[in-house]
Amino acid sequence: MRNRSSSRKSKKARRKRHSPPGSSPGLIHLEPDALKPIINTFVYAAGECQENQLRTTEEISKQLQAAPDKFHWIDVHGFGDQLFLEQLADSFGIHRLQIEDVVNGYQRPKVEEQKNYLFIVSRVLEEKEARLVNGQLSIFLGPNFVLTFQEMYEDVLEPVRVRLRHGKGLIRTSGSGYLAYALMDTVIDNYFPILERMGEQLDQLEEELIESPSRESLDQVLSIKRELIAVRRAIWSERDKLNEILRSTLDFFTDQSRVYIRDTYDHTIQILDIVDSYKEVTASLMDVYHSSVSNKLNQVMKVLTIISTIFIPLTFIVGVYGMNFARENPVDGSPLLLNMPELYSPYGYIGVLVVMLVIVILQVIFFFKKGWLTRS
Amino acid sequence: MRNRSSSRKSKKARRKRHSPPGSSPGLIHLEPDALKPIINTFVYAAGECQENQLRTTEEISKQLQAAPDKFHWIDVHGFGDQLFLEQLADSFGIHRLQIEDVVNGYQRPKVEEQKNYLFIVSRVLEEKEARLVNGQLSIFLGPNFVLTFQEMYEDVLEPVRVRLRHGKGLIRTSGSGYLAYALMDTVIDNYFPILERMGEQLDQLEEELIESPSRESLDQVLSIKRELIAVRRAIWSERDKLNEILRSTLDFFTDQSRVYIRDTYDHTIQILDIVDSYKEVTASLMDVYHSSVSNKLNQVMKVLTIISTIFIPLTFIVGVYGMNFARENPVDGSPLLLNMPELYSPYGYIGVLVVMLVIVILQVIFFFKKGWLTRS
Amino acid sequence: MRNRSSSRKSKKARRKRHSPPGSSPGLIHLEPDALKPIINTFVYAAGECQENQLRTTEEISKQLQAAPDKFHWIDVHGFGDQLFLEQLADSFGIHRLQIEDVVNGYQRPKVEEQKNYLFIVSRVLEEKEARLVNGQLSIFLGPNFVLTFQEMYEDVLEPVRVRLRHGKGLIRTSGSGYLAYALMDTVIDNYFPILERMGEQLDQLEEELIESPSRESLDQVLSIKRELIAVRRAIWSERDKLNEILRSTLDFFTDQSRVYIRDTYDHTIQILDIVDSYKEVTASLMDVYHSSVSNKLNQVMKVLTIISTIFIPLTFIVGVYGMNFARENPVDGSPLLLNMPELYSPYGYIGVLVVMLVIVILQVIFFFKKGWLTRS
Amino acid sequence: MRNRSSSRKSKKARRKRHSPPGSSPGLIHLEPDALKPIINTFVYAAGECQENQLRTTEEISKQLQAAPDKFHWIDVHGFGDQLFLEQLADSFGIHRLQIEDVVNGYQRPKVEEQKNYLFIVSRVLEEKEARLVNGQLSIFLGPNFVLTFQEMYEDVLEPVRVRLRHGKGLIRTSGSGYLAYALMDTVIDNYFPILERMGEQLDQLEEELIESPSRESLDQVLSIKRELIAVRRAIWSERDKLNEILRSTLDFFTDQSRVYIRDTYDHTIQILDIVDSYKEVTASLMDVYHSSVSNKLNQVMKVLTIISTIFIPLTFIVGVYGMNFARENPVDGSPLLLNMPELYSPYGYIGVLVVMLVIVILQVIFFFKKGWLTRS
Amino acid sequence: MRNRSSSRKSKKARRKRHSPPGSSPGLIHLEPDALKPIINTFVYAAGECQENQLRTTEEISKQLQAAPDKFHWIDVHGFGDQLFLEQLADSFGIHRLQIEDVVNGYQRPKVEEQKNYLFIVSRVLEEKEARLVNGQLSIFLGPNFVLTFQEMYEDVLEPVRVRLRHGKGLIRTSGSGYLAYALMDTVIDNYFPILERMGEQLDQLEEELIESPSRESLDQVLSIKRELIAVRRAIWSERDKLNEILRSTLDFFTDQSRVYIRDTYDHTIQILDIVDSYKEVTASLMDVYHSSVSNKLNQVMKVLTIISTIFIPLTFIVGVYGMNFARENPVDGSPLLLNMPELYSPYGYIGVLVVMLVIVILQVIFFFKKGWLTRS
């Protein structure tokens, strides 16, 4: 179940990832519990696609040199081997600062052009055990290779692998730029089911808040609001990144790929639209909550007021006739006729009951006219 | 009647329309309950206008080739035939991604220039069974044809058809660009009656909220606010789209048409103005609601306070004279003269009543001076 | 007196002015109760100024042709004659869409350049019967003529007519552009007294809200806030319009006129400043209102609490001595000495009174220390 | 002491300064109580500085012609002589609209370039009798003269005069542009002590609001907030003005002066920073106020609830034993043993007291556990 | 412990730092308690690094001239010697206004280009004794020297000194621009632990606010909010400064250094992201606080209402049977059978007890159905 403590844990994780202030730039700061790297490669061309699991930088280089006219996707999961990462960076001529960005894992989506490759960062939103995991997909895109890094083993890119294996669509024939597009597009498409889940949660919370406004529901609304803000920030940068790619004159993307990237760009705008409308919904829900709470207070106060204003005067009246004014002077026994003669009237009791009944009826009419007896 | 559950249903519909993440781009993802396509065509020129209902791509191509110097409006409703859509796209040389945009049905208003045609998306706001339906009109504008797609059978474009049939104004003589303008203009004009309805609803809600602030009214205000935000988003993009058309140097629109498009552009600005002023009204209504609710609480508390502060002291006084302090010592019968001598005074009862009356009068004066007895 | 119902009427009027969706553009949609046109003309030059009231387009044309080297101000009030408007538009070569803008009457301030004239829209704010009327002054500015349209007979331009008649300042000698400037300047200057009235109303409301926060005052604050937003929107566009005129290279305005238009431009900025500071004042007044209301609730609750906490314990005490515990066993008449011996003490009554007095004194001290007895 | 009524008076003053709508532009609209002009002049060069008090335009012209190679500061205070102002304007070739701007006295800070002079407006903030006075310093800067106008006699420019007299720094040797800089810089520097005073007031209000949240404190916070907004608006335009001077290629300022103007520009940014952080403080203080008020209400309600919930049940119990159920049948004297046997038990009274004590103890424990007995 | 009074002191310090209005620009305004300057120098090149502590401008100049081909870092702490600062400025050709900026100590981060050096201001955030200290690092960057100024003796730059001493990374070999980068980067990196501390504090406050919403927690939230705003302002300008450096064509930074500065630029964006998300958290915490307070009020009112509505009617009933209506006429002893016959029924008392029990049960059911007996 989604809860506050888990979201807090993820925040802590994020905060702890930085190298100590003042340390040399480009220093790879590994976490002690980082996973061992696993390297999967796809070597593909128009009619073929070969899948391997490699272990060392040498194997990768050999494979790349063996088939320079095919396309290579080197897919690295896990950062737990500093030496390997450094060798890999050197082998592909990658700047140390960018490897630091890969390992650091909290970069905004961006694209950086280098002489012989592009460095692209995408933010991957996933739901694991009902909480939002904000991962990073780092892509190095060269003329005939795509090198990707992710921190965890499982990822959201399986559909792309399936398309590569089955040779569906343009994916095998349209170069490394198209593969990079397919990866970014899959990452963006993955935002939709998450927003769908949030939408359903918001619908459910709306019902809960109207029927019984509880603090738990409020906490959930606030938590979704924060998630939405995080999603908005990520997708806003994704949009800027894609726009930068579209406006730039980078060789790595063909005109054909650009048409598809423009489509992904449109998706980011759709996601922004949805996120913004959900933020409006959370604002409405806050209004609904506050109005429900003050409504409940009004209800409580109305009950108190009705009961009190009916019975307090009645209690006063019966109190009057509970007074012990003497009927006769204790000294000389002379009658004190002015002292509560009602008590000695044959219809005194009945009279008092009737008076009280009349008061109750008048008050009920008053409350009814005020509209206090109807539920609002 | 407009209600929350219907608006929720429409949201769900919107969320479910996306292809699964990672699927090939340009894939047409049809809903199982999509309507069968109906194709109406208008073939028109200065003095003539012929209306047909066709069935296949071949018939459309034949008609187009038969009269290349006339203008053709091919008006497709319903997306329930994937093969037909693909054939049509191929026949007009339309990019698959744009057909996906047509079917997907949740695009922001936009214009995309292609070599031989323009792709224009307009958002159509309609009210059906008192709820806001946010549809999409997709226009492919070529030199001598206008190809339009809509998901549902009924639409808001009937006035344009009537003008075509009757040859009113410039519509038959001013080329395909003018027809595209007329369609977009009709879509925009359709926003006005919807805003008028919202305006009336807001006026009515204002009266309701002042007289009896109910949760239902608040919900309606919040619901109109969300609708306004949706309208604003749509019209904002419409404005950008029209501006892009105005600033571009697209061949499809003559200078004459541009003057008219500028007029439509002015309409989008008017709509933005109205939407913004309505948003201000909803904000005021929220203020009115909250102030009404706290006013009601104040009313309730005032009644409670007045009744309580009047009767609680009186009840205390009569309680005093209900005490049973003995007049004489039970042991030796000696009189205990200090024990409640008032009870044995001939004017005790009258005196107490007078004292209580004075207290009540003083309190009423106090409340009157505080202004609590006047309705505020 | 300014009130909500009147402002609502004006909104309705505004909403009803649009042609039905999909109707031909440039169609003049007349209201059934439109006023018959009245045409006043000024023919003026350096030393002379002649004023006429004409009736037909022919007369206007004749007058214009009779004195082509003088300046002509054709001042039309009322739109109730479609034929006349169409003839006039044709006679001056005015585009039908702009005549539609004139009649429609809800255009943002703007300037549109045509080959042989400028089309300028100004929004005229007036106070009639203490409500804000948002009218439109449409100006067609040609090399030797100024053609103005207004919907109603009375207007705010009388001072310009007086200056024309008396030949004060530069008005007769500086061409048609200067006259157009004078008209626009007069319209802008008219905003100042309206803002002054709002300022006075806000000062008065501030006093009312502090002394007795009523719903009526709140409604007035909200109503002024909305008026301010309307004024802001109008003046913002006026500023943009004037800026566009200043930055453009339009022939109709001489460098001399531009200096004056820059002055008017500065006035729009002053008005924006005033409107913004008034908006701040309305926000403060809302704060003052809410704080006054919650203050009043606190006052009410304090009175209730003081009275209740003083008398409820006392009532309990006197209740204790109203209990009827028997002094002797009803069966054997043996004394039950533990049953309320206080009742039989010679100083019981006095003792109880003293105890109650002490309690009251202690509570008063407590309340005084809490600061509840002082007015806040 | 700073108070609301004074700030209201200043607003009224500001609103009344405009010429009637539609009057000729450039008309000097003098207030009846305008002060008579006093003209001080400084004629200075590298080694000398001569100070005079002149009376007429002729004297000024004569002095200017007598020493064309020296620098002249003509410092005019008071606008109460229309003829003098017009002669002065003509003598320096100043546009009438700018003289209107000088007299009108409510211009945003701006710079206007003319062929032979610069017109600069600065807003002067001063505190007089503990209220904020928003004056205007109008500077006409020519190649060898600086002509300044202020409405009142006293001003904030004395330090510049002292520097001129003593020849400190660059002031005598760096031309008229440097003198204009020194004047503008002194005006800006004068914002700092005002902000300091506001800061101290805010600190004091914070303490007041936490200890006893009164309406007076709230009013002061709102009043400071409005002052801050006024300061922000003025300084924002000052910054723009200085930026315009820095970016322009005006001859009147040497490169050396520009370095100093850039420093003044940095000061405006510092002031903006301080104003923004003070605005944040006022927002926090509003939060503190509202939270204090609702805290006080909670306190009041807690006292009421504790007293009521303790004594109401006890009062019920003693009420029970105040009932008069008969012990024996009045007709036949037979004992009614079921009627309140407790009253006849030897330990009845003690028992009831013990029961009530137990109830009180249980409630106190309940309240203690709820945390209601501790101050929060 | 972090507290309000300390933050107030720091504000006062900041406000007092300005020279009096109107004083000559470039005047160094020293505080009386300014620290005596301490000058540390590093003279370094590829293979060597020499560290000295100098005392006078002459020594600095001599050292600089002795090794013109090496790089010099002159690191000044403390401003308490006006003569030294002026001599140093003259010796390096530094403008007096910039020395004023150094000493003044409240500059926004900025970069100013001079002919032979760059002047860079960085804001240093540190936590000393648990409060945020906002210091200034002023850097003068020349072709072969870096001259830094700080007001206090201790600083955050120790890691850079260590890297210089140990010759780690590129620091000794990449010129003065790289050293300036390293200093700026260290300052930025120092923001992360501060944000981490704030994050932890916010987490803790969240728990406190949910469990027991106290005014102290609210004050802390408001105080963190203000700190965040201060951090945001500083880092925003840092980002602009770095961006200006990146976009400019300054000679002092090599292409290699620019890559690293771009990395620092990315860090500022990350910090902005974190600050923005923390601001959202503070906004949520405010919501949580207000909802907790109103929840507590609801709890209190519910207890009052439940107790009152149960016991007030019961008290009325027992009051009824405490009335003293006479059973027989005191004059003739005739029985008054209508006067409270219940009192004489054998099951009267039991009956009343049963009636009251039934009432209590009904009310408990009512409250249970309302959901008032469950904790919310």
Q: Which residues fall within 8 angstroms of residue C19, CB to CB, at 6 or more apart? A: B189, C27, C29
**Exposed / middle / buried, residue D58 (Cβ in 10 Å: 0-12, 13-18, 19+):** exposed
- Asked whether the predicted pLDDT for residue C314 surpasses 50, the reply is yes
How large a percentage of chain D has pLDDT more than 70? 94
- Cβ pair D325:E324 closer than 8 A: no
C-alpha–C-alpha distance, residues E311 and D320, integer Å: 12
Of A330-339, C97-106, D195-204, E354-363, which range is least confident? A330-339
**CA atoms A280, A286, A292, A294: torsion sign:** negative
C-alpha distances (whole Å) from C85 to each of C16, C20, C76 are 21, 20, 10
CB pairs under 8 A between A and E: 182
Compute the nearest-CA separation of B165 from chain A (Å). 37
Place B11 in a pLDDT band, splitting at 50, 70 and 90: very low
Q: From B310, which residue of chain A is nearest by alpha-carbon distance? A: A313
Query: What is the b/e burial string over D233-256, where b = at least 16 CB atoms within 10 angstroms of the residue's CB?
Result: bbbbbbbbbbeebeeeeeebbeee
Query: What ipTM, to 2 d.p.?
Result: 0.77
Q: Taking the mean position of all CA atoms in its chain, how far away is CA D75? A: 29
Which carries the bigger pLDDT value, residue E252 or residue E146? E146
Compute the nearest-CA separation of D170 from chain C (Å). 35
- Cβ pair B322:C327 closer than 8 A: no
Q: Taking the mean position of all CA atoms in its chain, how far away is CA D254? A: 36
* 3-class secondary structure, A212: coil
**CA atoms C95, C97, C102, C108: torsion sign:** negative
Please choose, from the candidates A217, A145, A206, A153, the residue with its C-alpha nearest in 3D space to the C-alpha of residue A176: A145
Contact criterion met (CB below 8 Å) for A25 and A97: yes
How large a percentage of chain E has pLDDT more than 90? 46
Residues B205-219, mean pLDDT to the nearest whole number: 84
Residues B294-321, mean pLDDT to the nearest whole number: 90
How much is the pLDDT for D18?
64
Flag whether residue D334 sits within 8 Å of chain C, measured between CB atoms: no
- Cβ pair D218:C316 closer than 8 A: no
Partner residue facing C301 (CB), from D24, D95, D301: D301
**Exposed / middle / buried, residue E141 (Cβ in 10 Å: 0-12, 13-18, 19+):** buried
- Cβ pair C339:D349 closer than 8 A: yes
* Domains along the sequence of chain C with CATH: 24-172 (3.30.460.20), 190-297 (1.20.58.340), 321-370 (no CATH)
Q: Could you read off the pLDDT of E127-138 as tens digits, one per residue?
A: 887 778 889 999
CB pairs under 8 A between B and C: 184
How much is the pLDDT for A249?
79
- Asked whether the predicted pLDDT for residue E27 surpasses 80, the reply is no
Half-sphere exposure of A98 (CA within 13 A, CB side): 27
Looking at residue E328, what DSSP letter applies?
A: B
C-alpha–C-alpha distance, residues C19 and B240, integer Å: 24
How much is the pLDDT for B157?
93
Phi, psi dihedrals of residue B235, rounded to the nearest 5° = -70, -30
Q: Is the pTM of this model over 0.90?
A: no
H-assigned helices in chain D: 4-15, 57-66, 82-92, 96-104, 158-166, 175-189, 191-211, 215-247, 255-320, 348-370
* 3-class secondary structure, C108: coil
How much is the pLDDT for C231?
92
- Cβ pair D293:C295 closer than 8 A: yes
How large a percentage of chain A has pLDDT more than 90? 46
Residue with tokens 């390297």: A39
Q: Could you read off the pLDDT of C349-362 as tens digits, one per residue?
A: 889 999 999 999 99
Contact criterion met (CB below 8 Å) for E141 and E118: yes
Contacts of B303 in chain A (CB under 8 A): 305, 309
How much is the pLDDT for E354?
93
How large a percentage of chain B has pLDDT more than 90? 46
- Cβ pair B350:A330 closer than 8 A: no
Q: What is the CA radius of gyration of chain A?
A: 37
Provide the pairing of β-strand D110-113 with D38-45. Answer: unpaired
Please choose, from the candidates A293, A277, A295, A303, the residue with its C-alpha nearest in 3D space to the C-alpha of residue A367: A303
Residues C221-236, mean pLDDT to the nearest whole number: 91
C-alpha–C-alpha distance, residues E374 and E376, integer Å: 6
Of A289-293, B311-315, D182-186, which range is least confident? A289-293
Neighbours of chain A (3+ CB pairs under 8 A): B, E
Contacts of D269 in chain E (CB under 8 A): 108
Contacts of A100 in chain E (CB under 8 A): 263
- Cβ pair A18:E192 closer than 8 A: yes
Tokens of D69: 């190679």
- Asked whether the predicted pLDDT for residue A17 surpasses 80, the reply is no
Tokens of A364: 């009920």
Contact criterion met (CB below 8 Å) for C260 and C181: yes
Residues C164-186, mean pLDDT to the nearest whole number: 90
Helices E175-189 and E215-247: crossing angle in degrees, nearest 10, is: 160
- Cβ pair D160:E22 closer than 8 A: yes
Q: Could you read off the pLDDT of B330-375 as tens digits, one per residue?
A: 778 788 888 888 888 888 888 999 999 999 999 999 988 888 877 5
Neighbours of chain E (3+ CB pairs under 8 A): A, D
Flag whether residue B95 sits within 8 Å of chain A, measured between CB atoms: yes
Residue type, D62: K
Flag whether residue D280 sits within 8 Å of chain E, measured between CB atoms: yes
Looking at residue B322, what DSSP letter applies?
A: T
Question: Degrees (nearest 5) of the Cα angle D221, D222, D223?
Answer: 90
How much is the pLDDT for A4?
42
Neighbours of chain D (3+ CB pairs under 8 A): C, E
Contacts of A281 in chain B (CB under 8 A): 226
Residues E294-315, mean pLDDT to the nearest whole number: 89
C-alpha–C-alpha distance, residues C107 and C100, integer Å: 10
Contacts of B214 in chain A (CB under 8 A): 376
Identify the residue among A172, A246, A258, A320 best suited for mutation to test binding to B, counting B beta carbons within 10 A and taking the highest. Answer: A320
Residues 17-36 of E with CB under 8 A from D: 18-26
Please choose, from the candidates E147, E41, E150, the residue with its C-alpha nearest in 3D space to the C-alpha of residue E92: E147
Flag whether residue E319 sits within 8 Å of chain D, measured between CB atoms: yes
C-alpha distances (whole Å) from D59 to each of A241, D48, D56, D64 are 68, 20, 5, 9
How much is the pLDDT for E375?
56
- Cβ pair D309:E314 closer than 8 A: no
C-alpha–C-alpha distance, residues C241 and C248, integer Å: 11
How much is the pLDDT for D375?
56
Q: Could you read off the pLDDT of C18-27 as tens digits, one per residue?
A: 677 777 777 7
Which carries the bigger pLDDT value, residue D249 or residue E151? E151
Place B87 in a pLDDT band, splitting at 50, 70 and 90: very high
Q: From B289, which residue of chain A is nearest by alpha-carbon distance? A: A291
Residues 207-236 of D with CB under 8 A from E: 210
How much is the pLDDT for C139?
96
Please choose, from the candidates D119, D109, D97, the residue with its C-alpha nearest in 3D space to the C-alpha of residue D27: D97
Partner residue facing E298 (CB), from A23, A293, A344: A293
Q: Which of B171-175, D118-122, D290-294, E226-230 has the highest mean pLDDT?
A: D118-122
- Asked whether the predicted pLDDT for residue C15 surpasses 70, the reply is no
Which carries the bigger pLDDT value, residue B82 or residue D140? D140
How large a percentage of chain B has pLDDT more than 70? 94
Tokens of C223: 């109503």
Please choose, from the candidates D109, D92, D86, the residue with its C-alpha nearest in 3D space to the C-alpha of residue D26: D86
- Cβ pair B289:A291 closer than 8 A: yes
Contacts of E101 in chain D (CB under 8 A): 263, 266
C-alpha–C-alpha distance, residues D162 and D51, integer Å: 11
Residues 143-182 of E with CB under 8 A from A: 156-160, 162-163, 168-169, 171
* Helix %, strand %, coil % of chain D (to 5): 55, 15, 30
Place A271 in a pLDDT band, splitting at 50, 70 and 90: very high
- Asked whether the predicted pLDDT for residue A14 surpasses 60, the reply is no
Torsion of CA A148, A150, A153, A155, to 10 degrees: -80
- Cβ pair C25:B269 closer than 8 A: no
Residues D102-112, mean pLDDT to the nearest whole number: 87
Written as one string, the DSSP assignment of A160-188 is HHHHHHHT-TTTTTSHHHHHHHHHHHHHH
C-alpha–C-alpha distance, residues B105 and B13, integer Å: 11
Looking at residue E335, what DSSP letter applies?
A: B
Flag whether residue B101 sits within 8 Å of chain A, measured between CB atoms: yes
Contacts of A226 in chain E (CB under 8 A): 277, 280-281, 284
Flag whether residue E351 sits within 8 Å of chain A, measured between CB atoms: no
Compute the nearest-CA separation of B322 from chain C (Å). 5
Contacts of B372 in chain C (CB under 8 A): 300
- Asked whether the predicted pLDDT for residue D327 surpasses 70, the reply is yes
Residues B280-295, mean pLDDT to the nearest whole number: 88
- Cβ pair C318:B322 closer than 8 A: yes
How much is the pLDDT for E4?
42
Phi, psi dihedrals of residue D122, rounded to the nearest 5° = -120, 145
Q: Could you read off the pLDDT of A211-235 as tens digits, one per residue?
A: 777 888 888 998 899 899 889 999 9
Compute the nearest-CA separation of A214 from chain E (Å). 6
User: In sequence order, what are the beta bridge partners of E141?
Assistant: E118, E146
Looking at residue E143, what DSSP letter applies?
A: S
- Cβ pair A302:B300 closer than 8 A: yes
Average pLDDT along chain B: 86
How much is the pLDDT for E74?
95
- Cβ pair C11:B287 closer than 8 A: no
CB pairs under 8 A between C and D: 183
How much is the pLDDT for B371?
80
Partner residue facing A305 (CB), from B12, B304, B318: B304
Of C196-205, D262-271, D364-373, which range is least confident? D364-373
Contacts of C332 in chain D (CB under 8 A): none
H-assigned helices in B130-214: 158-166, 175-189, 191-211
Phi, psi dihedrals of residue A161, rounded to the nearest 5° = -60, -40
- Asked whether the predicted pLDDT for residue B230 surpasses 60, the reply is yes
C-alpha–C-alpha distance, residues D311 and A110, integer Å: 69
How much is the pLDDT for C372?
82
Which carries the bigger pLDDT value, residue D247 or residue B16? D247
- Cβ pair D328:C329 closer than 8 A: no
Tokens of D41: 């002049």
- Cβ pair C319:B315 closer than 8 A: no
Partner residue facing D315 (CB), from C210, C316, C371: C316
Place B18 in a pLDDT band, splitting at 50, 70 and 90: low
Q: Could you read off the pLDDT of A20-46 as tens digits, one per residue?
A: 777 777 777 777 888 999 999 999 998
Compute the nearest-CA separation of B26 from chain C (Å). 33
